[in-house]
Amino acid sequence: MIKSNLAKYTGIAVLCLMTLSGCSQKTTKGFPYALPAEKPNRPLSLAMERSYDKYGATPQDNELYTQFKYTELKGFDYNGHDGTISRRDPSKIIYKNGKYYVWYTYRNTSTSPKGAAKANDTIPSADWDLSEIWYATSKDGFTWEEQGVAVPRPPKPAVGWRSVTTTDILEWKGKYYLYYQGFLEISGKKGDDCPVAVSYADSPDGPWTPHNEIVIPNGAPGEWDQYSIHDPYPIVYKGKIYLYYKSDANGKPNYIRMQGLATADNPLGPFTKHPLNPVIGSGHETTMFPFKDGIAALVIRDGNEHNTIQFAKDGVNFDVAANVEFMPDAAGPFIPDAYTDTKDGRGITWGLSHFTTVNGWGTNHAVLARFDCDLSQDVNDPNMKKNHVYLRPEFFYKMGLTGQQKKRIAEETKKLSK
């Protein structure tokens, strides 16, 4: 008995010593040079905790980290880029009948946009005023053949009579649905007054039948989405239609752009806005895709969390998953599993986006472009996972100081010399 007790206590003492020496090792040895692939069991700074918990040890380990590469498209004419023809806000891309399909806002007007005060029946106020929804097809995703109008402007006073823009496609039970912003007055007179309308067809080539009702109305006065519902963007998730959208709130003096969610069991509605809206407090145009068991989002341009890719396991509660640069504006990716109600979203590798900065305001218009990336579980492209883009000094000098800033700096220096 005594012998066994002795053995027991000796064992405990040895264990304690081992633990102690383990502890002291943990605290005295510096953080390892070779970055552990898994979160190490040692006290970590907040930044290193976050690094492992949110992102993965390095950007290369993070499936939601990528670079974006851009290619000019072939097949679209822009009238010498004089501002009379514009193509922007591409939809998601789908692959049907042996080719890719994309829909987009198409403007072909006698002049470039002139602002709300000068706009009339033929002069557009903004780049997306007096527009229609057109579509194009492609065999390779680089050269496109424009097919013409999909959804024209309906006669006044139907929703969209002034302009139909910023569309996205849904495939649901063998039918196709195009959701779009239906302008009820000139854009810019009262912000963008453009509730969401929908047209449907049996084939991606149409003909499209307008469902002459607003499917996602503006919020009630005083609510964050009281003025506009932008960028309707449907995917199928958890057996339902999850339609994400953007709205502009605040507006004093700058808008805060945020993303909301509305869900439905039927493509023609009713859609129920989520009680937690807005579900993302940043971003500009809306781009989401099924990823693993949740939804990933490209959060571009605006807000505290712009230039991030976010992820929500429930499609609602998004968190930052990666910080990225040079994100595609208004991205419409090719998402093979956007409508399959997948439980294991495979991600995206390319799509179309737009550039709105081809020329100055005088000949303002937008062009479609292709972006490529590696946000896919099935591709591992180390070149897309590099974590720096090398830019020449000229790029930075182009973003030079304004005259007013130069004046302030000169005054500050003058004050010092007194």
Separation of alpha carbons 87 and 73, rounded Å: 12
The single residue among 230, 346, 370, 385 that binds ligand AAL, judged by CB under 6 A, is: 230
Provide the pairing of β-strand 287-292 with 272-273: unpaired
Neighbours of 297 (CB within 10 A): 27
**Closest to ligand AAL by CB, 92 or 385:** 92
The single residue among 89, 225, 302, 372 that binds ligand AAL, judged by CB under 6 A, is: 89
Neighbours of 146 (CB within 10 A): 15
6: left (phi > 0), else alpha (psi -120 to 50), else beta? alpha
Q: Does 287 bind ligand AAL (CB under 6 A)?
A: no
**Closest to ligand AAL by CB, 128 or 334:** 128
Separation of alpha carbons 135 and 244, rounded Å: 22
236 close to 242: Cβ distance less than 8 angstroms = yes
Q: Does 247 bind ligand AAL (CB under 6 A)?
A: no
Give the pair of three-digit tokens for residue 185: 């007055």
Q: Does 285 bind ligand AAL (CB under 6 A)?
A: yes
Q: Does 168 bind ligand AAL (CB under 6 A)?
A: no
Site string for ligand AAL, 138-167 (x = CB under 6 A): ---------------------------xx-
Helix (H) or strand (E) holding 416: helix 403-417
**Closest to ligand AAL by CB, 292 or 306:** 306
Q: Does 225 bind ligand AAL (CB under 6 A)?
A: no
Q: Does 192 bind ligand AAL (CB under 6 A)?
A: yes
Separation of alpha carbons 309 and 296, rounded Å: 7
| Torsion sign over Cα 347, 350, 352, 356 | positive
**Closest to ligand AAL by CB, 279 or 384:** 279
**Closest to ligand AAL by CB, 90 or 210:** 90
**Closest CB 231 distance from ligand AAL, rounded Å:** 5
Separation of alpha carbons 14 and 93, rounded Å: 65
Q: Does 302 bind ligand AAL (CB under 6 A)?
A: no
**Closest to ligand AAL by CB, 211 or 301:** 301
Burial 258-289 (b: 16+ CB within 10 A, else e): bbbbbbbeebebebebeeebbbbbbbbbbbbb
Q: Does 193 bind ligand AAL (CB under 6 A)?
A: no
Phi, then psi, of 24 in degrees rounded to 5: -65, -35
User: How many residues contact ligand AAL, by CB under 6 A?
Assistant: 11
Nearest to 193 by CA among 125, 122, 141: 125
**Closest CB 370 distance from ligand AAL, rounded Å:** 19
The single residue among 63, 168, 193, 231 that binds ligand AAL, judged by CB under 6 A, is: 231
3-state secondary structure of 189: coil
Q: Give the CB-nearest residue to ligand AAL.
A: 166
Give the pair of three-digit tokens for residue 233: 């963007």
**Closest CB 207 distance from ligand AAL, rounded Å:** 24
Nearest to 283 by CA among 230, 235, 336, 242: 230
**Closest CB 305 distance from ligand AAL, rounded Å:** 17
Q: Does 233 bind ligand AAL (CB under 6 A)?
A: no
**Closest CB 250 distance from ligand AAL, rounded Å:** 16
* Contact positions vs ligand AAL (CB under 6 A): 89, 128, 165-166, 181, 192, 230-231, 246, 284-285
